[in-house]
Every structure is written in structure tokens, then in C-alpha cells.
Structure 1
């Protein structure tokens, strides 16, 4: 299988043969023509005579007697638990000195590169500076409004075409869905051995691997990666997205076709519980924008993050343009309409349901009701705002609140309260 992927493969028959493992790694490092996959065959419970080859070596404590037998098998003469011999300390001290020498050599090379290629070095520094996205806030073309209805997935596609020039180290792809997710950077080519400067990548229909590869790209540094698929397939992305959250990686997930409005594919492609799944993940932010301006805000927030992944959840269908300035959405929620007076009812919505909230508000205002519409593209970002701002948007004095979202209502209770109501799909 790995050979079919284009890997070169090596096999170490004995997983306890340290020299053989070391040799395999050195062989792989010396050959840069292709990635290597090293298979190392091991035996579970090796070293514990009564447990070798048994699953019980994995799922339960060894016990004092088995530990004694293991010491004897491995010729370990020390009996004190958790003892680190002086020889081990000496070995690691030598390694530290060796690494210091290597680091000094690297620093010398870096200084020479800086002097010889100042322009390239400036790019190198910018690519490794997580705060470089802040300048995007002043880029007016990123915040240019559009008048006609537009699908947020298409809005994201337009934003990406702007960002590819403003963020030259942007690098991304999809799980074989670029035309549908609108995530290809036009004119930038696709990454391959023949085109190593291509900014797009064909991940193939394998969301888990795609998300894992993207984590590796961020861990290496220098590139800002994003990945894309249909929102319902975020189930396959989740394990790697959770690891990104645990590691504090500012990964970007573009997830389109975000509700029952996806079209003819039916229930298998209609996400319901996925939004609640991502929102409930610690150190993870979700944006579900309603139009072009909010989509630009979602991308800006994602690129500005240094220690937290972001999912940009986008609708397939065309939607009206409501947000006047996307920078309002950078606080996660804001008053879209009805902010002139104290509200007797607050309608909260995200994404495609902002339109429903606005239309409902028009009807109710026609009946003389004081109705406020709050667009809440990111509940997580709103939760980070000051108590004063939260009170301004959602005053405690107004206990009649309704959330509207064509997905699971899980998580909205915090904002609708006991006297409110959540309209969604449960």
C-alpha cells in the first residue's frame, strides 16, 4: 500500500534490534528522492516472560512478580523503581553538547544566508511570524462589500483569491472537492515533485489523512495550511482536529454544504450534530458566516490565530448581504439590526438562518414589537469578549430570546436561557 502511494519502504524484522532500526533511519535520511516508510516488527510484552505475545501486556498492570522477571530477562541489575543510572545521564549530557554544536553551526549558516539573501531572509522571517496576519485588517480589498446574493462557500472562494497574494505562504487543498468547496487558489498550480512551488494540493478522498498531513505542515512551520471538505465529513476530520486543538495548532478547516440546504444528496450529506461536536471541542473556534463580510472576518480570525484551530462553516445556497463591515463580526457576535432601543425580543442566528431572523424581525416590527437581531458567527469568540460588550449585545434585561440554526440546538441554552427557545433540528 505505501509503495502504491509512492513511498520507498524498509523493514526491520526485529523491533528490539536498536542498530538495525538506526541503520534503517540513516538509510532513509540519506535518500531524498522519495519519502520512506519503515516497518518495524515487534512482539507485544517483550521482556516479560509470562506476558510476551499476550494482549494482557497492554491492558493491565504487570504486577511486582512480572516486573522482577522482566528485570531478570533484560539483565537489569538495579531494583530501585524508576532509577535512572548515571551512565544514562552521561549519555544525555553528551547529546546536549552535541546539539549545542549543531545549533551553533545552524546559527552561523542562518547569519550567512541573511547577509547573502536579505530579501529571501525577510520572507523567511515573515513566513515564521505568526503575527504577520494583523496587517490584513487594513487591506480594504479584503473587506470590499458585494451587493448581490452570494453563497458563503463562493464568498470564501473569492476571499481565498485575495488572500493568496496577501499571504504568500498560504498552502491548502481539499479531499477531492475543490470545485465544490471553492478552495483552489487559481493560477498557483498543484504541489508535486515536478512543481514543488505549487500552493494547492490534491489530498484525495481521505479526510483523516488530509487533516493529519496539514497538522504536520504547521508543526514544521513556514506555511499556513488549510484543508477543505463537506461539513458532514468533519466526522472523519475530527480526530486530527482534536489533536490540533490539543497541540495549539492554528489549523484552518473550510467546511461547506453546512445544513439541510445542501441539495439532492439527502440525509447522508446533511450535517446536523457536527456543529455541536466542533463547538464542544476545547480550544477550538467555529465561524459560521452569513455573507461575504462575515466570511472575510472568519478568514482573518483564522489567520490571526497562533494557538487555536478554526473551522469556517459555509452554506451552499445563495444568501443576502447583511453585514455592513465584517470587522464587526470579529467579536463573534454583534447587533445586526434593532439596536436603537431596548429589545423586548432578541433573535440570534448564524449563517443561512440570519436571513430567517431578519425576515421574522420585519414581521414582528410591523406589529409594533421591539426586536433585535444578533448575528453570532462565532459563539467561542463572543465568549472571549468583555462582560460589558456581551451585555451590550445581549442585555440580561431581555429574557425573551430565540436562537435559529438549521442544525442541532445543543449549546444554545447558555444564550437563550430558561425563558428562551431554540429553533433547530434535534
Structure 2
């Protein structure tokens, strides 16, 4: 039987191999082994993908995720040869400061779909992309009318490390349940990790595991040479619309190297003599580096770029016809593709008065979602098995489920994540990275956002504007005890660069948190919400809260400032009133500080009006005091684990009652009475310290 591949394919493959090795050796750092073994599979895959370097955000492009991101030299080689904005000079700057070719792929670089590095995250992001594509297609395609605007695939390459990380098990299990036939994964089975051969720690039957998840599985025994086998497997996978597919491809790590098949070729540059013999073996001049034959450039242009460019142009033409045929949907989709929100969406946000009933902020969050979902078709989310507790599902919601299940539709916007906090968070990142202005949210208890911290960190690093609806935000959850009561969690995530951590004190602040989170374009948000009812506060407003910090209860010439968040703000207000009635009155201003990051971004002049010189400041929050030194001189918090009991009893146990706040405030005011006091904001070096002053 004749092959669909020829000598030019092998020249392209070997070019990818030596170009990747050259990057690693020039940088004297990196992973040459995986690119050498993976080049044939990557070539076959990319040869049939739809991607347009001239329009890298085309919504109907195929997505490619290199989950084993340490093999990124291979990705950079592909991006360069196909025609993305990577020059040979960029490849020569591999792993160097300020280069476009960092040590692991990063989302903000052209052609890179998601940031990968921590293993398991990339494949989990790919599941999110496949969910987004299925939802997008079900929402906007009109097959009976001849309009297919979305039929792309999400492809991923992963290795043994990704399969061993637990997050991939969470997400791949869900992908099987959801029957994501648009997801195709190549498993680089090279039997090597940093520790050595995988037999020392990993000998499960991966294909059987994935069959149990509900995936189609295939195996290619000779991934070093069997290009036709790889191509046929990918084609078969594309024909299966009911299951995601895992194709195990057995490869030799470091193929062609003198160290081929060993763990020593995994993470270190090849020695000079090894590079020379490798290039000679593959038909390249051993004395030259960073060489790409012109016929390889031409081949990739003809096989990949030109067909994709034509498909992109045809899509643009089809979309114009779609806009004429379906003006409402066409206008909506055009807006989303331009990264815009509906002009008046925030008018749906509820506004509260002090006379309104006390309500838990988790319930206020539910009211927000109920009010805004119809105005925001890009809003999609769910909960990690805590829907009745997180209150994340609006009444008219349709579950995102395979139509054949009878449980919902792919056009549904509520995702049942199951008990998979980490997987949910990584999937949210993938949904965001898909494009179309998706605004994904996911619910869990605040304490269990910590379970997901790997994906949370990557959301901040990558700039995905995703939202965690993090309920049960304090010791106020009570009876579940210290295993569920977050103490260090707020400090942890406030310390994370580019992360909004909102802890609203009432309804207006909850609306403000959602407004800021949904309008964010490059920062994720955690919205920490109470289980217990909180009063609607006099002096709060959406506009004030959007500054991140503001005066919610004021007095003239204060003796002390109480700065607080969430459920403790009303305690501070009550304490302030109590202090004012003492025989020797103490005047206490109260500051609500719902989001540190937003407050930090305000002009210093504004911040100094909130936290001025000459007044001692005490923070009040039922959580760790770490981090509050940026804003306060003294702290009333909890630097130990919580206790089990009813919420009000637990608050009393830790003396978080108005009397307890007032007692400490009085001591602080007295201590600083005859001392010179400077605002913590008044300092030589700014909080957001960088390499520049």
C-alpha cells in the first residue's frame, strides 16, 4: 500500500528535530528528548489542522495544546516554520530574558493557546476548550440553514507526567461523561520521566483507564516511523462524534541521539558531538545551526497555511451571510468576537437600601446571577458538586450535557463539574482561552479553592478573566468545623499577582464584585461569600465598592480607623457606634476594603484620604492577619485553625462581636494617642514593587 507521505514530510520532520535541538543547545537549557521523539506525530497532526498565522484568533481554528510544555522547543519550531511571528532570532533566544520563546509556552504569545508548565494543566485546559467549542457550535450553528460557523477540533499532546497528575484524571473523566467528540489527544508513550523509566512508579494500563472514562482509544506501536498509522488514527478519531479520543503513540525519547531511550536526554542539552552525529544522521550539515530548507517553508505554506487561509476567508464570507439571515444572533456574535460586553448589561445588577432584609452574600450572588444571565450569553459556569450550597444555578438554566443523555443540551450554560475543584478551575481557564468572550465561573467553598490553587495560579499568570464563586468564606460556616473554615486562604490568594479577591460586605458590594469581575479583561477574580445573613449597610454603593476600598461609616477627626471586609464590616460599624457612647468617647471611622488589588490600583491621593496619616488603623477580619500590614498598624484576626460549632457561637468564641472589636479598638487608640502615626501607605517603596522605581 502506498503511503500518503513522502521525502518532503521526512525532511520537515527532521528539520523540526534539529531546529528544536539547536534552540536547547543555544540556550544551554531545556528538554531535547521529547521534541526528537514527538516530531513525527506533531508533523502529521499539524499537517491536517486549520490554523491561520495571519489571523491567529480566528474563532474556527483548530486548537493545539502542548500539555507536556517542557517540549516547547518543538512548538516554537512549528510556529516559526508555519509562519507565526517567531523569527530565527527569536528561536536563538530560547529561554532567555524577555524572549518570545520562554522555557514553557505562555498564553500571551502568538500561536500559543494556553500557558502550560505544571503537568496536567494543559490537557485540562483542552477539555475546557472542547466544552466551549461544543457550546459555541450548539448556540450559533444553523445546520438546517447551511450555516456551520464552528466545527473545529481541540488537539493536545501529553506525556506520562500529565497522566500521573490528578487534575488530568478529574478533567478527562468529565470529558468522557460529556462525550466531547471534538477532543483528540496524542499520548507520547516514551516510558521516561525525570526519575528514569516509568516502570519505577507508573505501570497502569492507561488505555483501559481511558476506556473506563468513556473515551475511544487507539495505539500506534511505532511512533518513530508510522506516519500513516498516526494519520489514520487521527482521521478515525475525527469521525467519532460521541467520544473523545486518546491515541497512544509509542516513541523513543531523544530519537537519533546517542542517549536515545534514556532519562538523561529528557532535560539536558545534547553534547556537541551528539548534536553533530545527529545532524549528520538526519541529513543536515553538522557545522551549521538553525537551518530551515526553503522547501520546508514552502511545503508547510502549501499544506497548512494556504488551505487554512482559504477556509478562514470562506468563514468570513459565510459569517456575513449569517448576519443578514440571523441579524440578532449575528450582532450578538459579532459583539462577542470583538471582545465586547452588552452596553447595558450592568443595569441588571441589583441595588440595595439599608432597609432591605439581611441576606447571606452567597444568596445575594445567586440573585445577581439570576438577574444577569439573560443579558450575558457569554456567561457560562457551574459548581463542583455544591450547587445547592454555592447557589450558582439560575432558575431557567439548562445543563451543559450531551443531548443523547437526556440531561441537557450542549447549548446549556450550566456545567455539572462533580467533585472536581481543581479540574473545574483548569477547565474554566480553557473555556476562557477558547475566545468568543466567554466569562466562565465556578463554585465551591472558599477553603476548597485551595484544592485548585495550581489552576488558580495559572489563571492569574495567563490573564484569564475567570470567576470563582467561593462561598462559606469564614468561621461563620460553623458546624463543618476547621476542615472547612478558611483561615489562610484569603492571604494566600491576595498574595497572588493579578488576582482580585473580593469579599463583599452586603448586596451593593456583591453587585460591584460581579461588575468588576465580568468587566475584567485580563485578571481573574475570587468572590468570597458568606453563609450567614449580613445586613444591607448604610453608606455602601456599587460605585464606591468599585474602588476596592472606601469610607462606609465616618466621623470627624477619628481617633482610630477600623478597616475590614465582608461579614466583619457591620461588626466594625456596630463597634464604632458603641465606642461613641462611652463615657470617654472614642471616634472610629470604618473602612470597607472588599478587594485589595483594586484598592491598590487607585491613585495614592485617593488611598490617603481613606487611610490617612495621624490616625492608628486596626484591621478586623476572621482570617489570618498576614498581609494586613499594608493597610493597618494593628490586627484583630485569627492566626490558628477554627473550631466546630454553630456560626454565631464560633464568632463569640473568637470574640468577633461588636464588644470584642470595640475593646481592642479602644486599646489601639489609647496606645497610639501620644505617638507619631504614619499611614502604612506612606512609604518609600510602593507595594507593587517591580524592577523599576
Q: Same fold (TM over 0.5)?
A: yes
Aligned CA distance change for structure 1 residues 406 and 15 (closer, same or farther; 3 Å):
farther
Change (3 A) 1:282 1:21: farther
Q: Do the aligned residues in 2 keep the contact of 1:114 with 1:121 (CA within 8 Å)?
A: yes
Point out where structure 2 has 5 or more consecutive residues left out of the alignment: 1-208, 404-408, 640-693
Q: CA deviation at 1:18?
A: 4.0
Match of 2:385 in 1: 176
1:8: which partner in 2?
216
Q: Give the corresponding residue for 2:476.
A: 261
Taking a change above 3 Å as real, the CA distance of residues 129 and 107 of structure 1, as seen in their structure-2 partners, is: closer
1:252 to 447, 453, 467: 467
Given candidates 85, 102, 114, the residue that maps to 2:293 is 85
CA distance in 2, matches of 1:259, 1:68: 61
Matches of residues 205-354 of structure 1 in structure 2 within 5 Å? 205-222=419-436, 223-322=438-537, 324-338=540-554, 340-354=555-569
The separation in 2 between residues aligned to 1:372 and 1:133, in whole angstroms, is: 38
Distance in 2, Cα, partners of 1:40 & 1:103: 31
The one of 291, 316, 320 equivalent to 1:107 is 316
Provide closer, same or farther for how the CA distance between residues 234 and 84 of structure 1 changes in structure 2, counting only shifts above 3 A. Answer: same
Checking the alignment, whether the CA contact within 8 Å between 1:149 and 1:319 is kept in structure 2 is: yes
CA deviation map 1:338-364 (0-9, x unaligned): 1x5233311111111212222222222
Match of 1:125 in 2: 334
Could you list the per-position Cα deviations for residues 228-273 of structure 1 after superposition, in whole angstroms to 9, with x for gaps in the alignment? 1111111222212222222221111111111222222222212122
Shift of 1:205: 0.8
Q: CA deviation at 1:375?
A: 0.3
Aligned residue for 2:413? 199
What's the Cα RMSD here? 2.1
Aligned partner of 1:415 in structure 2 is: 631
User: What is the CA deviation profile of residues 143-195 of structure 1, one whole-angstrom value per residue up to 9, with x for unaligned ones?
Assistant: 24472221111111111111122223321111101111111122212111122
Quote the Cα distance in structure 1 between the aligned partners of 2:250 and 2:528. Answer: 42
Separation of aligned partners in 2, 1:92 and 1:363: 75
Q: Could you say what secondary structure the match of 2:357 adopts? A: coil
Residue range with higher mean Cα deviation, 263-272 or 110-119: 263-272
Deviation at 1:72, TM superposition (A): 4.1
Tell me the TM-score normalised to structure 1 length: 0.91
Distance (whole Å) between structure 2 residues aligned to residue 131 and residue 120 of structure 1:
15
| Separation of aligned partners in 1, 2:576 and 2:379 | 40
CA distance in 2, matches of 1:133, 1:302: 15
Cα distance in structure 2, aligned partners of 1:113 and 1:74: 49
**Change beyond 3 A, Cα 1:414–1:6:** same
CA contact (8 A) 1:131 1:304 kept: no
Q: Is the Cα contact below 8 Å between 1:48 and 1:73 reproduced in 2? A: no
Gaps of 5+ in 1: none
Q: Which residue does the alignment assign to 2:262? A: 54
1:374 matched to 2:591: yes
Residue 332 of structure 1: SS of its match in structure 2?
A: coil
Structure 1's 344 and 30: CA in aligned 2 closer, same or farther, altered over 3 A?
A: same
Determine the C-alpha separation between the residues in 2 that align with 1:11 and 1:380.
Answer: 49
Superposed CA deviations along residues 34-79 of structure 1, whole A, max 9, x for unmatched, are 3323333333333222x22322222333222332343344444443
Q: What SS does the aligned partner of 1:263 have?
A: helix
Q: Which runs of 4+ in 1 moved over 4 A?
A: none
Q: Which residue of 2 aligns with 1:136?
A: 345
Compute the displacement of 1:13 (Å): 2.8
Q: Deviations over 1:121-153 (max 9, x none)?
A: 0121233354315523433x5224472221111
Hey, what does 1:36 align to over in structure 2? 245
SS at the partner of 2:566?
coil
SS in structure 2 of the partner of residue 264 of structure 1:
helix
2:602 aligns with: 385
State the match for 1:153 in structure 2: 362
**Are 1:136 and 1:300, in contact at CA under 8 Å, matched by a contact in 2?**
no
User: SS at 2:444's partner residue?
Assistant: strand
Cα separation, 2, equivalents of 1:22 and 1:408: 55
Distance 1:107 1:134, change over 3 A: closer
3-state SS of paired residue (2:589): strand
1:414 to partner: Cα distance? 1.3
Q: 2:618 aligns with which of 377, 402, 411?
A: 402
The 1:376–1:67 alpha-carbon spacing in structure 2 relative to 1, beyond 3 Å, is same
> 1:303, CA displacement in angstroms?
0.7
Taking the aligned partners of 1:255 and 1:133, their CA distance within structure 2 comes to 26
Choose the corresponding residue for 1:189, options 398, 413, 421.
398
Write the distance in 1 (CA, Å) between the matches of 2:338 and 2:587: 47
| Secondary structure, counterpart of 1:380 in structure 2 | helix
C-alpha spacing 1:249/1:134, structure 2 compared with 1 (3 Å)? farther
Does structure 2 conserve the Cα–Cα contact (< 8 Å) formed by 1:134 and 1:304?
A: no
When residues 46 and 410 of structure 1 are mapped into structure 2, their CA distance, relative to the original with a 3 A threshold, is farther
Matched length: 419
Secondary structure of 2:210 counterpart:
coil
8 Å CA contact 1:133, 1:304 repeated in 2: no
Say if 2:509 and 2:540, in contact at 8 Å, map to a contact too.
Answer: no
SS of the residue aligned with 1:228? strand
On the 8 A contact 1:143/1:293 being kept in 2, the answer is yes
C-alpha distance in 1 between matches for 2:322 and 2:433:
23
Structure 1 residues 148 and 346, CA gap change in structure 2 (3 angstroms): same
Structure 2 counterpart SS, 1:315: coil
TM score, norm. by length of structure 2 = 0.58
Task: Point out the more displaced range, 277-286 or 303-312.
Answer: 277-286
